[in-house]
Every structure is written in structure tokens, then in C-alpha cells.
Amino acid sequence: MTKGNQEGKGKIVQFPGLKDRLLEKGVQALEKGEVHESSQLLTQAHELEPDNPDINTALVLSLYESKQYDIARYICKEMLLEGIGDYFEVVDMYLMILIQLHQHREVVDTIHALFDEKEVPFEKEEHFKKLLHFSEKVLNGKAVIPDEETPKEDQSSILNGKSLEEQTLLVAQLVHRNIKPFMGELQSVLKDSESHPFLQTMILNVFREHGVDKEVDITKLGMEDRVSPAELEDVFDSDFFTKVTDSLDDLLAQTNPTLFQHAHELLKRHAFLLYPFTFEEEPKEIASVYAYYTAGMFADAILEKELKDQVENTQSQGILSRLRELEEISSPNI
């Protein structure tokens, strides 16, 4: 082996934007509930840029969700020592990890130190006092908390009086919080036919990620069902979505990849709005309608004409009608 080869051995070539791609993919995996894949991707991103606050925060959340509490605790401590990220957000994560580890003495000592230093923001005081009260009760033998649960909050409503955008952001945050205090309100939203279908899907996903196995009623877009969230597939892993995507791929991916991307995004948006319901027709027929509709949107007259015969039957016209109804439902701007 030459000296040049020896010097080159072991060098890591870092591709431009790799850290950002790892962070993006890690967050996407976390949102889909793929917590172990998420923590692996974010760990790689963390190795590339250990001082990045977004990477650190996302990594701690993924470790927390995958129950790797000791590693999450270590990273949180490092963030606090190095001043990485929003201090009180990191403290909040750190305290929730300590509770999962049953380190209630450290919870009490940490919160007392914060109040002694008079550094706690006004909006955080009540939250920290509740955590303090809870951990003190546990230490005094007056409270026992089941595994995987955090102390109950007095709130019973978090959505009332909020805009759709605010409601959506609040529900997204519930993936990392105790949802028991809000179960009644969330189930009411699922049952209310006037609720926005996007928000209803968000709530179902939160229930699924928390492993809620009790059946809940859902009324959405003129359909009703009773489902066990824990048994539901991820919307984008379902047979319906996978088979229609494959059929769209067969129709468009080779001949018009740009149009395929647009049709696929349209399908994703509608599948999310419909969830846990789907179109009942054959995947190939559904794909033909989406291809036909997208061709019309982008003035691809040749493809539109090619597909016209396939979508002129009654069944396809029914799909097209429902597709147009779904297109009229705006998703929240968040």
C-alpha cells in the first residue's frame, strides 16, 4: 500500500447538505412514528454537527419516544451545559425524561434551583409547579405513577376557541405529552361531523402513536366508523395508498415523472383527509382518475385525451366527483 493510500484511508467525505437531509428524514420518521429509524438518522446528523440546536432537540425527542431515556438525559445535560437550544424548552424535556427514569429527587432539586434563581418565566411557573408537586408526592409516598405516564394536568380543553392553525399545532405537540386530560375533548372532535377532517386525522395519529387501543367513534365526510387507533396503519403505509401509488407509477412515472409527482401529492393530501376511510374502487381505476384530473390541471391535453375513455364510466365519475370535493377542503396553513 502506498503512503498516499494510507493517508487517504479512513477519511470521511461529507456530502454537501448531508446533515440537513439527515435532519429532515429523521424528523419525518419521527412524525410517522418510526422512532428507531428516526433516532438512527438524527444520531448521524448529531455526529456531523453536535452543536446544532434543531438536531439536538429532534434527537432528544426521538430518543424519548424510543424509550432510550438514559441517552436522551445525557444529551439534554450536554445541551444545558453548552447553552444549546432554548434553555427552558431543554429543561422541560430534561424534567420529563427524569420522570420517566423515576428520578424524582433530581426533578425536585432542579425545579427548586430554578425558582431559587428567580429565572423561571411567568408562563412556565404553573407547569413547573405541577411537576414539582407531583414529584414531591411521589417521594413522600403519596402518589404512584404507572410506567410511561406523566402527571395529569388540570386542563380539560386545549382546542376550544382556537383557530384551525392553532388547533393543528397544539394537536401535533400532543405526540410528546400526556393526552389523558384531553381525551374527552379529542374524542368529541372525532365524532363531530363539522370538525375539519385534517384535524381529525391528526388526532387519530396522536391516538395511534400513544397506543390507544380503546375504540373511538369517528364521523367524517359523511362516513361513520368505530376504530381502535392502535390497530390502524399509518395513512401512507396502508394498502389503499400503496396500491394506488403503484398504479400511478405504472401510468405516469416513466412517461411523465413531473405529472406523477403532482398526482402523487394530490393523492397524499386526499388520503390524509379521508383517513381512516378510503376510496373503495379498484386502485387502477382510482389512479386513472387522479392521472386524468392532474393532466387537466396542467393542460396536458394528450394524456387527458388518452385517459378520457377510462374515466367515462359511472364508477370513475363517482371517484372524480369525490376527488373534486376533497380539493375544495383547504388544509391549514402551518
- pLDDT tens digits in sequence order for the chain, 334 residues long: 444 444 443 434 455 578 888 899 988 888 888 888 888 899 898 888 889 999 999 999 988 888 888 888 999 989 988 999 888 888 888 998 888 888 889 989 988 888 888 777 887 788 888 888 888 888 887 544 444 444 444 344 778 877 888 888 788 878 777 788 788 899 999 999 999 999 999 999 999 988 888 899 999 999 999 999 999 998 888 899 999 999 999 988 888 888 888 989 999 999 999 999 999 899 999 999 998 998 888 787 877 777 777 777 878 888 989 999 999 987 775 4
Looking up cell 400511478 gives: 248
User: Whole-prediction pTM value?
Assistant: 0.54
Residues 6+ apart with CB under 8 A from 175: 31, 65, 205, 206, 209, 210
Nearest one of 50, 126, 58, 48 to 93, comparing CA atoms? 58
Fold assignment, 18-139? 1.25.40
CA-to-CA dists, residue 324 to 204, 209, 240, 320, 327, angstroms: 24, 31, 19, 6, 5
Q: What is the Cα–Cα distance from 79 to 91, expressed in whole angstroms?
A: 9
According to the model, what pLDDT value does residue 197 have? 94
According to the model, what pLDDT value does residue 54 have? 92
According to the model, what pLDDT value does residue 272 have? 92
According to the model, what pLDDT value does residue 309 have? 75
Give just the sign of the alpha carbon dihedral 96, 99, 101, 106: positive
Nearest one of 150, 236, 177, 176 to 201, comparing CA atoms? 236
Q: What is the Cα–Cα distance from 51 to 81, expressed in whole angstroms?
A: 12
According to the model, what pLDDT value does residue 12 have? 43
According to the model, what pLDDT value does residue 195 have? 94
